[in-house]
């Protein structure tokens, strides 16, 4: 019965994708599919209890309903409304299958279903050159990700002699099977890296600025997050292949830190949000590498809600960005390092209090304590109100961590050497940012700003490799083009 209800969720989204009623009825049908999907997800939760896949199903349906309601007025008078609704139907049907999958065939079917639908959405305005470039860049990333997924799934299924996710971590006697599972796991991680726009494969995401706002919200709040859901589903596989923990922690952590640094140089609100998505996905990958799947699940849910709200209300983001910049500029010279230490101390004190209250250990990895503590630093600068807010955020984080830990089991964390290496990286970025804030006119600060504004030129480097290895043919005709920062920022 549960599987049939999961299938019903996908079929609901095929109705607006396949049927072609009048335009007004088409909008109503799509919204009814979202509302019906949300009710079906609630029914599944009542039958089985709250589980990660069911929580994501409910989230997908509710976000789809909100975005469709917003889109009715946004696309009023546009000639491509029916095409938009059909593409959204196919996309959400595929996403529903990915979330519901318990075997490789269902996962592959859902994953492959989302790609053509996303291409159609990205070229909603096919006459815009930037939209065509972004679609081609996304096609290259998607084809490579699909190839990695197909090979990784085939190797893993062959190694364990089963297509079911429940069997991916079973003990293996044959060295050939162990090698195949290790290779398959690495390929699957590469698939997720490509699909979640990790550096240097981020160019397609930061170029998607010509797409209408509802499509951007759907992309950043839903499609990009599917890679994270796959990571959580395959948690047992990563635990069986320790190399993947190093890949996820180091690659995700480096992307999170560098993308946050680049984001601060952007003026365009949509570009800031795009770089923020790269950083957030990197942080989520790092959480999975640390074995903190409950935190990764929490991160995906809150990121989806935040990004949908941020894009649909992008006009109001200007004021909040101005306030944030003013707050950063007003920090005193000696307070940057002290605020970082204070943030870590507040988190450690709160963690100790929760451990005493719960009677059992709630122990995030040391790397997460350092990063989250440094993230509280802007609030811990002189103002008692800021300290109070930082303390409140600590309690909220620990409360949500406790609740989600009951829903999703965690695994062993990455080696301490890996965590220490990345902790030094984040601490170095934090200190460097404080020095730049104090010396904005220094020649080194100017050079670093130019480097960050260029996105560290990683996208150009990846484009050159794509051209030389003929990978660009997967996306027809990609062009050597920057991520749109300068052009859109000038606008």
Together in a domain, 284 and 139: yes
**Residues comprising the chain, all counted:** 491
Give the model confidence (pLDDT) of 243-275 as tens digits: 898 899 999 999 998 998 888 888 888 888 889
Q: What is the pLDDT of residue 75?
A: 85
Q: What is the pLDDT of residue 251?
A: 93
Does residue 162 share a domain with residue 136?
yes
Number of neighbouring beta carbons within 10 Å of residue 470: 8
Among left, alpha and beta (phi > 0; psi -120 to 50; other), residue 382 is left
**Hey, is 202 helix, strand or coil?**
coil
**246 and 293 assigned to the same domain:** yes
List the Cα angle 304/307/308 in 5-degree steps: 80
The answer to whether 197 and 224 have CB atoms below 8 angstroms apart is yes
Q: Give the pLDDT of residue 351.
A: 86
Residue 419 maps to a domain: yes
**Residues of the chain scoring pLDDT < 70:** 1-24, 314-334, 359-361, 382, 412-413, 470-491
Q: Is residue 107 included in any domain, yes or no?
A: no
Q: What is the value of pTM for the model shown?
A: 0.86
Q: What letter would DSSP give residue 103?
A: B
Looking at the structure of the chain, the number of domains it has is 2
Per-residue confidence (pLDDT) for residue 180, from 0 to 100: 92
pLDDT tens-digit map of 20-77: 656 667 788 888 888 888 888 888 888 888 888 888 888 988 998 999 888 888 888 8
Give the per-residue pLDDT at 477: 43
Residue 324, token pair as written in the block:
């944030």
Q: How far, in Å, CA of 449 to CA of 451, rounded?
A: 5
> Are residue 167 and residue 250 in the same domain, yes or no?
yes
Q: Measuring CA to CA, which residue among 43, 13, 42 is closest to residue 29? A: 13
What's the confidence (pLDDT) of residue 40?
82
Residue 379 confidence (pLDDT) = 83
Q: Is the peptide bond before 105 cis (omega within 30 degrees of 0)?
A: no
Residue 183, pLDDT score: 94
| Token duo for residue 2 | 């549960």
pLDDT at position 488:
38
Q: d(Cα 68, Cα 302) in Å, to the nearest integer?
A: 20
pLDDT score of 487 = 36
Please count the other Cβ atoms lying within 10 Å of the Cβ belonging to residue 409.
Answer: 11
Residue pair 210/121 in contact (Cβ under 8 Å)? The answer is: no
Does 368 share its domain with 292? Answer: no
Q: What range defines the domain where residue 451 resides?
A: 129-206+225-315+441-476
Mean pLDDT of the chain: 82
Decide if 102 contacts 234 (C-beta within 8 A): no
Q: Which two tokens stand for residue 322?
A: 């101005």
* Cβ-proximal residues to 286 (8 Å cutoff; 6+ apart), any chain: 248, 249, 252, 253, 256, 367, 422
Let me know how many helices (H) and strands (E) the chain has, helices first.
Answer: 22, 0
Nearest to 108 by CA among 151, 68, 64: 151
In terms of domains, do 176 and 285 share one?
yes
pLDDT (0 to 100) of residue 483: 44
Does residue 289 share a domain with residue 232? yes
């Amino acid at each position: 019965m549960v599987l049939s209800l999961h299938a019903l969720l996908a079929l609901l989204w095929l109705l607006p994708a396949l049927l072609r009623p009048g335009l007004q009825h088409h909008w109503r049908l799509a919204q009814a599919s979202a509302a019906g999907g949300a009710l079906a997800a609630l029914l599944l939760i009542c039958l089985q209890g709250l589980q990660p896949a069911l929580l994501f199903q409910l989230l997908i349906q509710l976000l789809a309903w909100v975005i469709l309601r917003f889109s009715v007025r946004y696309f009023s008078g546009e000639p491509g409304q029916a095409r938009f609704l059909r593409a959204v139907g196919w996309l959400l049907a595929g996403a529903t299958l990915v979330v519901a999958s318990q075997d490789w065939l269902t996962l592959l079917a859902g994953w492959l279903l989302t790609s053509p639908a996303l291409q159609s959405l990205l070229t909603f305005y096919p006459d815009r050159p930037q939209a065509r470039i972004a679609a081609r860049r996304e096609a290259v990333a998607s084809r490579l990700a699909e190839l990695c997924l197909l090979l990784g799934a085939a190797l893993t299924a062959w190694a364990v002699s089963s297509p079911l996710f429940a069997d991916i971590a079973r003990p293996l006697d044959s060295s050939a099977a162990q090698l195949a599972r290790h290779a398959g796991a690495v390929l699957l991680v590469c698939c997720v890296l490509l699909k979640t726009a990790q550096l240097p494969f981020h160019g397609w995401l930061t170029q998607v600025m010509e797409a209408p706002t509802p499509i951007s919200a759907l992309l950043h709040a839903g499609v990009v997050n599917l890679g994270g859901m796959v990571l959580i589903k395959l948690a047992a596989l990563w635990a069986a292949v320790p190399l993947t923990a190093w890949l996820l922690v180091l690659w995700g952590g480096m992307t999170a830190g560098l993308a946050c640094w680049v984001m601060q140089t952007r003026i365009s609100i949509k570009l800031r949000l795009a770089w923020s998505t790269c950083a957030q996905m990197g942080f989520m990958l790092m959480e999975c590498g640390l074995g903190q799947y409950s935190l990764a699940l929490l991160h995906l849910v809150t990121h989806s809600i935040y990004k949908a709200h941020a894009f649909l209300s992008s006009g109001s983001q200007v004021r909040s960005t101005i306030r944030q910049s003013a707050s950063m500029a007003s920090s005193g010279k000696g307070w940057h390092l002290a605020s970082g230490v204070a943030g870590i101390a507040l988190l450690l004190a709160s963690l100790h209090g929760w451990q005493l209250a719960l009677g059992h250990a709630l122990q995030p990895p040391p790397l997460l304590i350092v990063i989250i503590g440094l993230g509280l630093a802007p609030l811990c600068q002189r103002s008692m109100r800021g300290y109070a807010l930082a303390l409140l955020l600590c309690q909220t984080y620990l409360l949500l961590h406790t609740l989600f830990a009951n829903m999703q089991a965690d695994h062993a964390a990455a080696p301490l050497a890996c965590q220490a290496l990345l902790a030094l990286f984040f601490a170095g970025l934090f200190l460097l940012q404080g020095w730049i804030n104090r010396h904005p006119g220094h020649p080194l600060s100017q050079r670093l700003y130019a480097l960050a504004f260029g996105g560290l030129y990683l996208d150009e480097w990846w484009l050159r490799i794509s051209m030389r290895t003929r990978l660009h043919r997967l996306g027809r005709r990609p062009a050597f083009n920057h991520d749109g920062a300068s052009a859109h920022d000038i606008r």
